[in-house]
Amino acid sequence: MTAELEALTAEIVSCRLCPRLVAWREQVATEKRASFSDEDYWGRPVPGWGDPDAALIVVGLAPAAHGANRTGRMFTGDRSGDWLYRAMYEAGFANQPDSTAVDDGLELHDAWVTAPVRCAPPQNKPETTERDNCAEWFHRELDLLGSARVFVALGQYAYVSLWRYLGASMVLPRPRPRFANGEEIPLADGRTVLLSFHPSQQNTFTGRLTREMLAAVFARARDLTALHRADPDSASNGGVRRPGSDRG
């Protein structure tokens, strides 16, 4: 990790700006889930992680109470992470499909995983003020990831948060394209936003998101990052590609 990202991470993990979320993350870390009762929960803000030279940036929503809030690493220790990292592994962005703990050996290649809210929220629902408080961390982190060419937004919340970030520094398509799984949004500067349903249990248990759908998004991300690496000026058409995707 670069010195700047390390310094930012140190700031993030010390943040206590949102009283409701600080109380919740620490309450969860103290009470614990019975199946993890012998573990020390992280119970703090969770920083992004991965390859600081990543072309692919994956954006989630917020840490899960007994997932990243327990392990201290994004999408680690819960079923959402099982789905995400398996798809990233199959697409060549990770060295293994399993993500169980910070010392599990998982490494990301050309990819960075982050979220617009860094503390686990009750019911996975941050309040608007909490999202706005945390935007500084999200924006500063993305600013430091200068090789980013492709963004995968996992769910509407990630998409809107990412759109706000991008809109602060460039002209975006208007109106903002509606969220749809599989949507691909080329930006005027050659970068691309890909949309996927979030791999939450709400989506995976119901079949709204299948492993094949998630794999297809990351396969496309792999192709786009390879294209960008080979030709940094490619794909700057600023339109919206609609591959017959599902709305929602």
**Residues in contact with ligand SF4 by the rule CB under 6 A:** 12, 15-18, 21-22, 45, 117-119, 130, 133-134, 137
Tell the smallest beta-carbon distance from residue 130 to ligand SF4 (Å).
5
Residue number with CB closer to ligand SF4 (12 or 84): 12
Residue number with CB closer to ligand SF4 (98 or 127): 127
The DSSP result for 13-47, as a single string, is TT----HHHHHHHHHHHHH--GGGTTS----S---
Residue number with CB closer to ligand SF4 (22 or 227): 22
Three-state DSSP class for residue 212: helix
Q: Please report how many Cα atoms fall inside a 13 Å half-sphere around the Cα of residue 22, on the Cβ side.
A: 10
Residue of 47, 66, 77, 75 whose CA lies nearest to 155: 75
CA distance 45 to 12: 6
Residue number with CB closer to ligand SF4 (126 or 186): 126
CA distance 122 to 21: 8
Tell the smallest beta-carbon distance from residue 192 to ligand SF4 (Å).
27
Tell the smallest beta-carbon distance from residue 137 to ligand SF4 (Å).
6
Tell the smallest beta-carbon distance from residue 245 to ligand SF4 (Å).
31
Backbone phi and psi for residue 184, each to the nearest 5 degrees, phi listed first? -130, 120
